[in-house]
Structure formats: structure tokens, C-alpha cells
């Protein structure tokens, strides 16, 4: 696991965008795994700036998102489908049929999960997966205690996750209680993973990720077993790591 230390959120976003752009330029038909939340907003902004300046083409790119809230229509401004259009898809030349997000409106959620796994496999798997991390160590919406063998499934959101995400809703009651999330084994099948970590709020979980045992109570810890993970973290996120003078490889 490689750790790239950057000064701040802006720099983290630029490094992440550069990695994605290089991947798209190097390979035909890239499959990107995408995340939502506050962390990747700056990365998507940089991709849009690059698109406007250099016309990097997304015509042959496919995307699969990590997760979606159950019960939200894709036209709902708080859905991740809406978020992706707002922050990225509307501003680049990706064919919308190439973009995939689990449906929060699915009547048969079990079937939706199975089909999502099949879809990822039929695309040949994820080439580059972008990840954020929850303060409790979740990746995707795989909360502490989730099996490392989990596949795409319906997950119950923890109170801390719902509280953290309530800033995007009109209060905690409006935050959905469940989501569909790629499983941990699904995420681990990605060929390359880029984990973005920014801000003081994430300093403790980043320190835990780098120092604690690999265990299901800390979902992100399994990333240490993946052969190609890069963490891009800013000074604030690395503040405890640096305070304790942990030596990074």
C-alpha cells in the first residue's frame, strides 16, 4: 500500500484527477469505479476542467458507482445518481448508457444487487476504483462488521454514517436507512484502488487503517491485502500519523 502525502484537499483532488486521466489515456475501454460524498467532489471538478481544456475523451469509458440510497428516485437531488450527473456526467462526453449506479428505486433489490455484480463482471471488472472512507472505516457503505466476502447487497446504514451524511438532507430523519452497496469482495476485485482521505475528521481512521490489525470491524483495513492501493492523503488527514511519527512505506 502506497501513501502519497499532499498538502491539502485541492492537491489531493489534482493528484487523483491526474491518475484517472492518465489511465483513460493509456487504456481503451477503461472501467472506472466511482465514489460519491464530499471527498471526490474536487476530483470531479478537476476532471471537468481538464475536459474543457484538453478534451480528454470519455467516449469509451464505463463507470460503476459504489452505492445508492434505497428509496430515492434518480431525479432526487440527494440521490447519488443525481450527484454524479451534477458533478461529472453532465459536463463530460461520457455516453450516459456507459454509466451505472445501483437503482435505489428497484422493487426487487436482491435481483438488482445480483444484476449489478453480473454487470461489473461483464464489463471485465473495474480497472481503477476511487474510494473515500467513513470515519468508522467503512468503504462503499460496508459498515464495521461486514464480511470481507460480501458482494453487492442491501446494507443498513449506521447511525454515525446517517448523521455524517445528514448535512446533504433536511435533517437526519430524511436520510435513508438503507442503501445498495458494492460488497467488500467486489471492491477488492478492482485492479487498482485509489483511496482519498482529507481533513482532520479522517485523521483517526487513517491512523487506525495504517496501524491496526486487518479485521472486519475496520472494513478499510482489508485494503492492506490488495496488491495495488494508493492512498492520497492530505496533511490534516495524516496529522495523527505524523504526530506519532509512523514511518510510511
Question: Which residues would be at the binding site for ligand F6R (CB under 6 A)?
Answer: 35-39, 66-67, 132-134, 138-141
Q: Minimal distance in Å, beta carbon 53 to ligand F6R? A: 26
C-alpha cell at 110: 436482491
Q: Is there a catalytic annotation at residue 29? A: no
Choose the catalytic residue: 65, 136, 142, 165.
136
The residue of the chain with the least Cβ separation from ligand F6R equals: 132
Q: Which of 150, 127, 158 is nearest to 222 (CA)?
A: 150
Choose the catalytic residue: 68, 112, 143, 236.
143
Q: How far is residue 55 from each of residues 32, 43, 46, 47, measured CA to CA in Å? A: 18, 16, 13, 10
Choose the catalytic residue: 65, 138, 234, 236.
138
Q: Is there a catalytic annotation at residue 136? A: yes
Nearer to ligand F6R, 39 or 63 (CB): 39
Measured between alpha carbons, how far is 195 from 199 in angstroms, rounded to an integer?
A: 14
Nearer to ligand F6R, 37 or 125 (CB): 37
Q: Minimal distance in Å, beta carbon 199 to ligand F6R? A: 8
Q: Is there a catalytic annotation at residue 234? A: no
Nearer to ligand F6R, 37 or 176 (CB): 37
List, in sequence order, the alpha helices (H) in 63-190: 80-87, 109-122, 159-165, 184-188
> What is the number of other CB atoms lying within 10 angstroms of the CB of residue 73?
12
Q: Minimal distance in Å, beta carbon 68 to ligand F6R? A: 9
Q: Is there a catalytic annotation at residue 159? A: no
Measured between alpha carbons, how far is 44 from 91 in angstroms, rounded to an integer?
A: 10
Nearer to ligand F6R, 25 or 147 (CB): 147
Pairing of strands 229-234, 192-197: parallel
Q: Minimal distance in Å, beta carbon 134 to ligand F6R? A: 4
Measured between alpha carbons, how far is 155 from 163 in angstroms, rounded to an integer?
A: 16
Q: Which residues are annotated as catalytic? A: 67, 136, 138, 143
Amino acid at each position: 500500500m502506497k501513501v502519497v502525502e499532499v498538502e491539502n484537499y485541492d492537491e489531493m483532488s489534482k493528484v487523483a484527477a491526474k491518475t484517472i486521466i492518465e489511465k483513460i489515456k493509456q487504456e481503451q475501454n477503461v472501467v472506472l469505479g466511482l465514489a460519491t460524498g464530499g471527498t471526490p467532489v474536487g476530483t470531479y471538478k478537476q476532471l471537468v476542467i481538464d475536459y474543457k481544456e484538453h478534451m480528454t475523451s470519455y467516449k469509451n469509458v464505463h463507470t460503476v458507482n459504489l452505492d445508492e440510497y434505497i428509496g430515492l428516485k434518480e431525479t432526487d437531488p440527494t440521490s447519488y445518481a443525481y450527484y454524479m450527473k451534477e458533478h461529472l456526467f453532465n459536463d463530460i462526453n461520457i455516453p450516459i448508457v456507459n454509466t451505472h449506479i445501483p437503482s435505489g428505486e428497484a422493487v426487487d433489490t436482491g435481483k438488482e444487487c445480483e444484476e449489478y455484480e453480473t454487470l461489473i463482471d461483464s464489463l471485465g471488472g473495474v480497472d481503477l476504483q476511487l474510494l473515500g472512507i467513513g470515519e468508522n472505516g467503512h468503504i462503499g457503505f460496508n459498515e464495521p462488521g461486514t464480511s470481507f466476502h460480501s458482494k453487492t447487497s442491501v446494507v443498513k446504514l449506521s447511525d454515525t454514517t446517517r448523521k455524517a451524511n445528514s448535512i446533504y438532507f433536511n435533517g437526519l430523519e430524511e436520510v435513508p436507512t438503507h442503501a445498495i452497496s458494492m460488497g467488500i469482495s467486489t471492491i477488492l476485485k478492482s485492479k487498482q484502488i485509489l483511496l482519498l482521505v482529507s481533513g482532520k475528521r479522517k485523521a483517526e481512521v487513517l491512523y487506525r487503517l495504517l496501524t491496526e490489525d486487518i479485521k472486519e470491524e475496520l472494513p478499510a483495513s482489508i485494503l492492506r491485502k490488495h496488491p495495488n492501493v494508493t492512498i492520497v492523503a492530505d496533511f490534516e488527514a495524516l496529522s495523527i500519523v505524523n504526530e506519532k511519527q509512523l514511518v510510511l512505506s
